[in-house]
Structure 1
Amino acid sequence: MPDPVKMKKFWTVLLTIVSLLIGGGLFSQTAAAADNGAKFTIKPIYPKNQLDSSLGYFQLKTKPGSTGKLGVTVANLDRSQSRKIKVQPVVATTSDDGQINYTPSNSKLNASAQLELPKLMSKAVTVKLAPLTQRQVTFSYKIPDAGFKGTLLGSIYALDETASNSKAKGFTINNRFAMALGVSMTTNPNWVVSPNFELGDVAARVVDNQPAVVANLRNVAPTYFRGMNVKTDVTQKGESKKLYQARLNDGSMAPTSNFNFRVDTKGKAIPAGDYTLNMTVKVGKRTWHLTKDFTVTAADHDKIAAKIGEKQPNNWLYWLIGILIILLLILLAWTFYRLGKKGGRKDDKPTQDKPEDH
């Protein structure tokens, strides 16, 4: 059992409030902060190239080679404590749950990505706010002379770095609250770019202590979308029987992003062999069929089984039985050989003729 005293030092819960839902409305920052316990808010300061000031997030039309600024107002709602807020531009990615993610992530965009929003903008800013005060934070950006195709998607992400400890059942919990305001940039909002999909690596792995087949699904187009449905199955290579199946309903993906789609293998390590993953992706009225073969080696199976604590069959018993059967067959063969040899000697013994009477 872990030591509760040591656990207090490392037990940290990150509570992230993403106030943006692009295309689906925006929660009020003040209401979100009050309902979830956050002691700060951020609100957009719309520039002239904002397409719609009622959205609650940034939706900008830009021109190739142009420069501009994005501003947000950060407010400390705490009446008694100063707060330290880090504000930074973040690129939108896709989480492994198949949803657009506007928070910092280790996930990388596809090689097809032309640009990333944060690389066009100035660096992160950390502000210290006295109780019940606010401050404007501004980021500058520059669009490349060649412009870009499709949409750049991300957020202005604010993280409260102020220590805020509370206790629950003997543990010290460090609550860290965050908020995100979406940023969408395009050079031509009327230019519709359709999504396009590819399958990356497919392999057997362990995810959240559960065995699974993991397929990397890539949106290689510079566009984001919602309402994605994914249906996947795994078969033995060359066969049609579905061994494992999984679905995703109402998913979403960021531009030129990818995520790892998981197909559970019924709680057991997938046996060694050759397999085929079949995936159907539907967005709107369009459908994509993706297929990829993959191999699970004996070493892969054993590694996964060891990680999940799956008991291995007693193969030594089968080897012992096999060896005994072979020895028995050898013994029987040797016995029949000896008996046959003795019988041959008796049959080959010469007989003496009796003398004839004259």
Structure 2
Amino acid sequence: MLKKYPVFIRGVKICFLFIFSLSVLFSYKNVHASSSSFNVTLVTSENQLKGNVGYFNLLMKPLAQQELSFVLNNTTSKSVTIDMSFFRATTNQNGIAVYDSESEEKDNSLKYNIEDYVNIPKKEITLAAHSQEIVKASVRMPQNASNGILAGGFSFKEKNVEKHSEASKGVSITNEYRYVIALVIQQNTKTVSPQLNLNEVKAGQVNARNVIEANLQNIAPTYLKNMNVTAKIRGVSQSNLKYTFQNSEMKMAPNSNFDLAVPVSIQGNMTNQTSKALQPGKYHLSMEVYGVKDAEGRYQTTVNGQTVKYEYKWNFERDFEITGEKASKLNRSDPTVHYKEPINWLMIIGIALILIIVLLIFLIFISKRKKDNHKQNDE
């Protein structure tokens, strides 16, 4: 979670070489950033599926081990140091399969973590000016991973990237160029169907903005591509509260989950605008999800005015509740909400009653004391 008022902004420009054209998922072309100090290509293996598609898609036998080769090329007149790493495929908060999940928790459906089966002997490589070097890695196929795929990506990132700061504005910008080459391994080419679950639904924040998060989980060892998600949330306690979300091009990695964020507050930059406070109470979520485009698919819907068919469809319904304490906490930390704590009339009435009772007791005491004094004077 980001801090409410960041003092220091880190802008990161990442140039991905997603040399990844998984025919059931992606269609990337080789891309080289003109400002990058190096580039990377792979050496195709004999057991490569679908030809030279720019990423490793390997058919391997149980317990088989294989060496992978990459060609690193320094395109500059100075030496360059490159960090090489590997991460399993995960799904980020935008619903995109990524390969930078070092700090991400493993999904509870993940039986075989590909990170445990990949070895990189040399993780730091220094290339002399205008030089080239072949680097190695190895991968081993688990014995019983007979269904579906294991997926991850090799990341190549320049080390000690120069930072450019603007002291007067308190801004630091780092230009970071990263190349990613995907690795997909499988024991057979049988099709595995994605399986989508809806887990917890709760209030939260993304970039210090109030959202309602619905955790989606793909528990199958296969990519879920072309996700077309429509989410509608309505207030049960307050029927005038309605929030919606729609995205027709999302992709989930195998055995992964992410929090789909339905906006409550205004997103992005604001000009003289404020968001309405998140209200506590009971809500209901309705979600419709299509997956995997197919001209012969059983399910169809309209996308940008065009009829699109899909192989899979899921419908989810879920009731959930946002407590007053949670709503107050989120509203206070959302800079777009001019939030005032709601008046607690019950507390005010309770305090008033206590004061009235104390006052009555005091008046009764004073009255009794006067009567006692008057009686003593008469005697």
Shared fold by TM > 0.5? yes
Equivalent of 1:25, from 24, 27, 31?
27
Following the alignment from structure 1 to structure 2, what is the Cα–Cα distance between the partners of residues 286 and 107? Answer: 28
1:207 aligns with 206
Kept after mapping to 2: 8 A contact 1:18/1:102:
no
From the superposition, tell whether residues 99 and 194 of structure 1 become closer, same or farther in structure 2 (CA, over 3 Å): same
SS at match of 2:119: coil
- Aligned-partner residue type, residue 88 of structure 1: S
**1:76-91 alignment runs, 5 A limit:** 76-79=74-77, 81-91=78-88
1:98 aligns with 2:124: no
Letter in 1 for 2:185: M
Report the Cα offset of residue 101 of structure 1.
0.9
- Check the 8 A contact 1:206/1:307 in 2, yes or no: no
1:279 is aligned to 2:305: no
Judge conservation of contact 1:93–1:108 (CA < 8 Å) in 2: no
Deviations 1:297-339 (A, max 9, x none): 11111111111253225626897699889999xxxxxxxxxxx
Cα distance per residue 1:196-229 (max 9 Å; x no partner): 1111221111221211111111011110032110
Unaligned runs of 5+ in 1: 1-6, 329-358
1:313/1:166 CA distance change after superposition, 3 Å: closer
SS at match of 2:61: coil
Deviations 1:139-189 (A, max 9, x none): 112212223420111111101113323456855533221110111111112
| Kept after mapping to 1: 8 A contact 2:224/2:253 | yes
Q: Which of 112, 115, 137 is matched with 1:118 structurally?
A: 115
Task: Return the alpha-carbon distance in structure 1 between the equivalents of residues 331 and 54 of structure 2.
Answer: 49
Q: Do structure 1's residue 181 and structure 2's residue 181 form an aligned pair?
A: yes
Compare 318-327 and 263-272 and name the one that shifted more.
318-327
Q: How many residues get paired?
A: 314
CA contact (8 A) 1:216 1:258 kept: yes
Q: Give the whole-Å Cα distance in 2 for the aligned partners of 1:240 and 1:221.
A: 37
Moved over 4 A (4+): 167-172, 237-242, 316-328
Q: Distance in 2 between matches of 1:239 and 1:15?
A: 43
How has the CA–CA distance of structure 1 residues 151 and 300 changed in structure 2, closer, same or farther, with 3 Å as cutoff?
same
Which consecutive unaligned segments of at least 5 residues does structure 2 have?
1-6, 266-274, 292-309, 357-379
2:374 aligns to what?
A: none
* RMSD, aligned α-carbons: 2.8
| Change in 2 beyond 3 A, CA 1:231/1:38 | same
CA drift at 1:269? 3.5
SS of the residue corresponding to residue 285 of structure 1 reads strand
Matches of 2:37 and 2:52 in 1, distance apart? 24
- Choose which of 142, 145, 158 in structure 1 pairs with 2:143: 145
1:222 aligns with 2:230: no
The percent of aligned pairs where both chains have the same amino acid is 25
Structure with the largest fraction of helix: 1
The aligned residue for residue 254 of structure 2 is 255
Distance verdict in 2 for CA 1:321–1:206, change over 3 Å? same
Return the offset for 1:102.
Answer: 2.5
SS of match in other structure, 1:15:
strand
